[in-house]
Amino acid sequence: MSSSLVSMIFDSFLETLVMVAISGGIGTVLGIPLGIILFVTDKKSFLPMPVLNVVLGAIVNALRSVPFIILLVAIIPFTRLVVGSSIGTAAAIVPLTISVAPFIARIVETSLREVDKGLVEAAQAMGATNLQIVTKVLLPEAMPGILAGLTIAVISLIGYSAMAGVVGGGGLGDLGIRYGYQRFMPEVMWPVVIVLIVLVQGLQSFGDRLVRKISHR
């Protein structure tokens, strides 16, 4: 493998890490509160707000229903408005974030639903506020499930970031498409595939280890 090819793969790898890290971070910051709101405002929860719950749920479901490759193209005007361009690593972060945030929200909501309702009732009986119930009871109990879900979300982002290469989004996907597919250079495609496999395996192992550590506490 030539030094120029190694350099291209390394640069593309860093671009992929940047895309996944930033979009995953922003998506988590947006998705966790949204998931909490979806849970607590459910009609069977302790702070029912049916109208708000239905509206937010519809928005989340709508965003999750759009395949990423279509979303990527559909929001190009918005992407240009936010970052000034529709191509490159920065541009890819916008649709990646919009795609992963509602996914994380549903993960959080589902994890919170699995918490024993008796714990919530016990906290209410002791006079805990709604905020205390969320921060001291629900989130700690649901954390293993949330972390496992976040691992899946980040791995999904890696796949989405590769799709972003179709429109010049940068990263390993862009490198694989430009050289491995369009120019039919298997000596580029296979190293890209191997790097992606190693990256996914590493993230999955790290996530599993973190979940086991949290679960044993």
What would the pLDDT profile of 154-194 be if each residue is shown by its tens digit?
Answer: 999 988 888 877 777 778 887 877 777 667 777 778 888 89
Q: Following DSSP, what letter does each residue of the chain receive, concatenated?
A: --HHHHHHHHHHHHHHHHHHHHHHHHHHHHHHHHHHHHHHTSTTSSS--HHHHHHHHHHHHHHHHS-HHHHHHHTHHHHHHHHS-SSSHHHHHHHHHHHHHHHHHHHHHHHHHTS-HHHHHHHHHTT--HHHIIIIIIHHHHHHHHHHHHHHHHHHHHHHHHHGGGGT--HHHHHIIIIIISS--HHHHHHHHHHHHHHHHHHHHHHHHHHHHHHT-
Query: pLDDT at residue 71 above 70?
Result: yes
pLDDT digits (tens, 9 = 90+) for 122-158: 988 898 888 999 999 999 999 999 999 999 999 999 8
Domains (ranges, CATH) in the chain?
A: 15-171 (1.10.3720.10)
Average pLDDT score over the chain: 88
pLDDT tens string 8-41: 888 889 989 999 999 999 999 999 999 999 999 9
This prediction's pTM: 0.89
Q: Considering only 30-34, 62-66, 162-166, 198-202, which range has the smallest mean pLDDT?
A: 162-166
Percent of the chain with pLDDT over 70: 95
